[in-house]
Structure 1
Amino acid sequence: METAERLIESTRELLWERGYVGTSPKAIQERAGAGQGSMYHHFRGKPDLAVTAMRRSAEELRAQAAAQLDTGETALEKAMAYLLRERDGQRGCRVGRMAMDPDVIASDELRRPVEETFAWLRERLAVIVADGTASGELRPGLDPADTAAALAAVVQGGYVLARAAGSQEPFDQAVRGAVALLNAAAAEPRPAG
């Protein structure tokens, strides 16, 4: 693996473990096995490297979510596939973790990959919910944007609950609750004839 790639991957891991504030250039260099000169040869500094690493994490999250959201034929199957994907609740989300970092939130450049990723996710989920209501699979009146935000919040909030408890169970409980709510939003079966 070339030096720039090692720097990016090391930064991705450190950001996930420690956040932006807790990730020093020295720690990045040590984990990557790269010197200071190499880091500054490939990147303008920590913010530039962090944005590159965060964009990579965002692309990975989008690919994983898209794979789930494209699974199944019905809106419920797609939403359930997203919710029920196996996740390590205690590790949290690589992208969501950055939303908790004050330096990331204070910087438009650093915040942008986080903001764009969650906007994309909410948009994809909203389309699925809208398709479900349009097809009669989901009850009419279910707001697609509000429901999409709630589904994204269940996963991200589940991570927070799991990390706070030091246990996977609160994450799983949040997902089970969202699944139950989606099933309750399913349209009543229509009588034949």
Structure 2
Amino acid sequence: METSERLIESAQALLWERGYIGTSPKAIQERAGAGQGSMYHHFRGKPDLAVTAMRRSAAQLRAQAEEQIARGGTALERATAYLVRERDAMRGCRVGRMAMDPDVIASPELRAPVEETFAWLTGHLAGVIAEGVAAGELRPGLDPHDTAAAIVAVVQGGYVLARAADSQEPFDAAVRGAVALLAAQAAPGA
């Protein structure tokens, strides 16, 4: 594997584990088995490498979400598939983790992959909900964007609850609740 790939993968893992502030260039280099010169040959510095790693993590998250949502079925089934996808709630979300880091939030460059990913996810889920409303599967008054934002918030908030309790159960309970609320929006006779 090329040095640049090892650096990106190492940065991805460390950012997920420790966040941006807790991830030093030295730790990335050690995990990647790369020297300082190699890192600065491929990247302008820690922020450049972090953005590259975050964009890679974001692309992976989008691919996973797309795979779950695209499996077919009704809009309700597709939204539910996204919610119930197996996740390790104790690890949290690779992308959502970055939103908790003050250095990431303070930097438009570092924040961009996080913001773009959640905008994409919310928009994609809103499209699924809108299809369900248009097809008569879901109640006509259901707002697709607000519903999609709630689904994303349940998953991200579920990670926080699970980590706070040191247990997967709060995450699973939040997902079960969201699935029940979403199912209650099925159009009569659908």
**Interval of TM-score (by shorter of Structure 1 and Structure 2):** over 0.9
1:75-114: per-residue Cα shift (whole Å, max 9, x none)? Answer: 0110011001000000000000000000000000000000
In the other structure, the counterpart of 1:132 is: 132
Distance 1:181 1:117 in 2: 24
Instruction: Write the mapping of 1:148-159 to structure 2, written as runs, cut at 5 A.
Output: 148-159=148-159
In the other structure, the counterpart of 1:33 is: 33
In the other structure, the counterpart of 2:163 is: 163
Distance 2:177 2:20 in 1: 32
Look up the equivalent residue of 1:103 and give its one-letter code.
D
1:3-38: per-residue Cα shift (whole Å, max 9, x none)? Answer: 110100000000000000000001111111111000
| SS state at 2:173 partner | helix
| SS state at 2:95 partner | helix
Look up the equivalent residue of 1:97 and give its one-letter code.
R
The answer to whether structure 1 residue 117 and structure 2 residue 96 are counterparts is: no
The answer to whether structure 1 residue 145 and structure 2 residue 145 are counterparts is: yes
| SS state at 2:100 partner | coil
Query: Deviation of residue 67 (structure 1)?
Result: 0.4
Distance 1:179 1:187 in 2: 15
Query: Deviation of residue 73 (structure 1)?
Result: 1.9
Look up the equivalent residue of 1:43 and give its one-letter code.
F
Distance 2:169 2:72 in 1: 26
Distance 2:15 2:165 in 1: 21
In the other structure, the counterpart of 2:66 is: 66
Distance 2:80 2:145 in 1: 17
The answer to whether structure 1 residue 87 and structure 2 residue 87 are counterparts is: yes
> For the aligned residues, what is the CA RMSD?
0.7
Instruction: Write the mapping of 1:20-59 to structure 2, written as runs, cut at 5 A.
Output: 20-59=20-59
In the other structure, the counterpart of 1:186 is: 186
The answer to whether structure 1 residue 4 and structure 2 residue 4 are counterparts is: yes
Query: Deviation of residue 72 (structure 1)?
Result: 2.2
Q: Which runs of 5+ in 1 are unaligned?
A: none
| Runs of 4+ more than 4 Å apart | none
1:123-167: per-residue Cα shift (whole Å, max 9, x none)? Answer: 001011111111111011100110000000000000000111100
Distance 1:133 1:38 in 2: 53
Distance 1:134 1:2 in 2: 48
Query: Deviation of residue 121 (structure 1)?
Result: 0.3
Under a length normalisation based on structure 2, what TM-score does the superposition of the two structures give? 0.99
Q: Which runs of 5+ in 2 are unaligned?
A: none
Matched residue count: 190
Distance 1:72 1:161 in 2: 30
